[in-house]
Structure 1
Amino acid sequence: MLIAAERLWTEGRLAEGLAVEADAGRIVALRPLGPDTPDLTVPLLMPGCTDLQVNGGGGVLFNADPTPEGIAAIAAAHHRLGTAQILPTVITDAPEVMEAAAEAVIAAMGQSGVAGIHIEGPHISPPRRGTHDPRFIRPLDERTMAVLRRLRSAQVPVLLTLAPELADPALLREAAGLGVVLSAGHTMATADQTRAAMADGVAMFTHLFNAMPQMTSRAPGVIAAAILSEGWCGLIADGIHVSAEMLSVALAARPRPDLCFLVSDAMPTVGGPDRFSLYGMEIHVENGALVNAQGSLAGAHIDMLESLRRLIAMTGMPQERAIAMATDLPRQAMGLPALSVAPGVPMRDLIALDGDLHLQDLPR
């Protein structure tokens, strides 16, 4: 089958006039279309998105089902919505839950759609815990370090979100030395504490603006330090967690335009029913937001392609830059190789989009 793309995402840019030859579910060639008549023409062909913060999907919460089967269900739900690879994200919970999640990801690394693990908490700041259960919050300790060593010995990419001001700097340095990507989040860190933590290995910021003290004229805090740094910043672009204006401010103020990426912070309602249980509390969708009984935000009800569309609508960002934030840049932040449109790549890892960036059917 010959598939022509009016635009095709390759090597970090949108190229025109290219076509993909596919056979038996895989790309066999990428070449100029030339005079050939394609079997199918699509407005945009690109690798599926990569999402570094996926708490759940398809009705499954990773914390509640930390098994290879739970991961497979979550990954499949996001794959149907245009995301090729995810980091299943386990949030603050009992140590046994984190350990089970780690073993599940180790077992699942061979299956499609799993790029590693994101451990978000429990080493966070209680005042900035959000919906994380305070019963399980604790400083970074040897038990978690053992989990990190186990994951890295199995060559699993690991993202760890923590409040760096509460962590032993020696443990931060050890974790970074293992190859764990350390991200500041759910934190009360000052700007000075943030810069010190970056010197100890923190290289990323989790859902910038959210679960952080807001910057003011005399207290720039972690947000200003993050924006002005060379660190990676994840952004939730649902229009609920962060306003369009603040997204634009953060993007404009970065020292380089390629240091921000999109995350969904998706919960089980993405590709699933409109409610689920977290720590024994019901979380439900209300006016597009996920809220608990008190009306507080509890994760996000959005997938990566919808995030991409909203980012462009809210900021006026060119499509090329926005696509990078959903594909190549999160992978660079984790040290993962880029997903490419190239010979040998399974067609299931590609997505076709129409002119409004909605999914089109693509032969697999």
Structure 2
Amino acid sequence: MSDDQGAYWLVPARLFDGHTMHSGVAVRLRGAEVLEWAAIADLGDRADLRHHDGIAAPGLIDLQVNGGGGVLLNTSPTPDGLRAIATAHRALGCAFCLPTLITDAPEVLDRATDAMLALWSAPDRGGVAGLHIEGPHISITKRGTHDPRFIRPLDDRTLNCVARLRERGVPVLITVAPEACAPGQIARLVTMGAVVSIGHSAAAPDQIARAMAEGARKGTHLYNGMTGMAGRDPGVAGALIDSDLWLGLIADGHHVSEAMIRLAWRARPAAGRMILVSDAMPTVGGPDHFTLYDQVIRVADGKLVNAEGSLAGVHMALPQALPRVTRILDDDGVQALTAASSTPAELMGLSGLGHLRPGATGGVTLLGPDLTRAEWLGAAPAGKDRPAR
């Protein structure tokens, strides 16, 4: 066994490797890097053992994070803003995230693009794994809290921003409504290497089919911001559930009912393509209010509401969804953990993340036996905390 300086053995009650739950197994870590595995019985009484009474899982990955620690990306589209958001979520057990820019003026996306390119040159990106562009190319009727002043069809300005990011290898997830895209535009994004997600949409069946044919690979926060299912029309939600696309889902106890979570999970034709997201706002790890489009949004009874009392975002870090989804699905946590680690890593092509096999570089999220008490173990050596695509 290796004697790497600074390395130690993590000995959990259970170890989830990204796909399978194990007992009786320890993992040797150096910072955020997994060096090797061993049977606990073979370790003896070593001095470099760290015991944990719960579950050790790969560093969790959240593909939809609008803010955290009091910072909203739309109002702080800077390298420091990106890093502050990811830092706030790491403190709550989520190792990596895609800071998410929602619908705004074109120059805000320009600044966010410049900020991400600047951060991508840094030796430590602080948990930022790419950029999620959610809007402004969405349906006006399914905009949710997105400001209608800035909603517009997909244009060259956004395409150029995505091209700049992808040329530097930055993972990009972009949410669009198919009806806001001209034929061929989604295919252009896919050719660049962006992951295109269908969301905030009232698209007709032929528009959804075209988006999928052009390479759309995901659906954004299933059920929310899209037409629902009916007996004679599956709507966007039904079409996504019945597809082989990856689907993001908010499981905060407010945005989607338990019955609809079970329905979606069980009805998918392709297993392992559900992804848990937080859609978190700045109140996560921050103060109990923030300003969005000149409106004050506050936490009330565990949820975010505007002045009229309407739901206006999510007050939840990703690890909080794990025990809820595990209870809803009535399993041992494997499905929820998969949806928060290996599945988002696979979709976004995040090398070294989402698993705990030797060579992994995403650190470990420690959870209690019931999937609570999330803590991220990382402190990656220089150059190791850099997900690649």
* Length, aligned pairs only: 363
Give the one of 6, 21, 30 matched to 2:28.
21
CA offset at residue 176 of structure 1?
A: 1.1
1:109-124 → structure 2 map (5 Å cutoff): 109=120, 110=122, 111-124=125-138
Amino acid at match of 2:118: A
Q: Does the Cα contact within 8 Å between 1:59 and 1:269 map onto a contact in 2?
A: yes
Match of 2:209 among 195, 206, 211: 195
TM-score, with structure 2 as normaliser: 0.89
Written as runs of structure 1 = structure 2, the 5 A alignment for 1:148-187 is 148-187=162-201
Secondary structure of the equivalent of 1:8? strand
CA RMSD of aligned residues (A): 1.9
Query: Does the CA contact (< 8 Å) of 2:91 and 2:375 recur in 1?
Result: no
Deviation sequence 1:39-76 (CA, Å, 0-9, x none)? 33212111221000000000000101011101111111
C-alpha displacement of 1:11: 5.0
1:341 maps to what in 2? 356
Whether 2:153 is the aligned partner of 1:139: answer yes
Greater RCO, CA 8 A, separation 6+ = 2
Matched, 1:217 2:231: yes
Higher mean alpha-carbon deviation, 166-175 vs 233-242, is at 166-175
Secondary structure at 1:63 match in 2:
coil
TM-score by length of 1: 0.95
Match of 1:309 in 2: 323
Query: Distance in 1 between the 2:31 and 2:139 partners?
Result: 51
Equivalence for 2:140 = 126
Measured in 2, the distance between the counterparts of 1:106 and 1:195 equals 33
Question: Structure 1 residues 156, 26: closer, same or farther in 2, change over 3 A?
Answer: closer
* Aligned: 1:254 with 2:261: no
Q: What are structure 2's unaligned runs of at least 5 residues?
A: 1-7, 380-389
Distance, in Å, in 2 between the alignment partners of 1:166 and 1:252 is 30
Which AA in structure 2 matches 1:220? P
Tell me: CA distance 1:191–1:317, structure 2 relative to 1, closer, same or farther (3 Å). farther
Q: In 2, Cα distance between the equivalents of 1:315 and 1:18?
A: 26
Match of 2:94 among 73, 76, 83: 83
Counterpart residue number, 1:41: 51
Contact 1:149 1:178 in 2 (8 A): yes
Q: 1:116 to 1:26 in 2, by over 3 A?
A: closer
Shift in Å, 1:294: 2.2
Aligned equivalents of 1:308 and 1:56: distance in 2?
20
Tell me whether 313-322 or 295-304 shows the greater mean CA deviation. 313-322
**Matches of residues 289-308 of structure 1 in structure 2 within 5 Å?**
289-308=303-322
Going from structure 1 to structure 2, the CA distance change for 1:343 and 1:280 (only over 3 Å counts) comes to: same
Structure-2 change in CA distance of 1:113 and 1:25 (3 Å): closer
* In structure 2, C-alpha distance between the alignment counterparts of 1:136 and 1:24, rounded to whole Å: 43
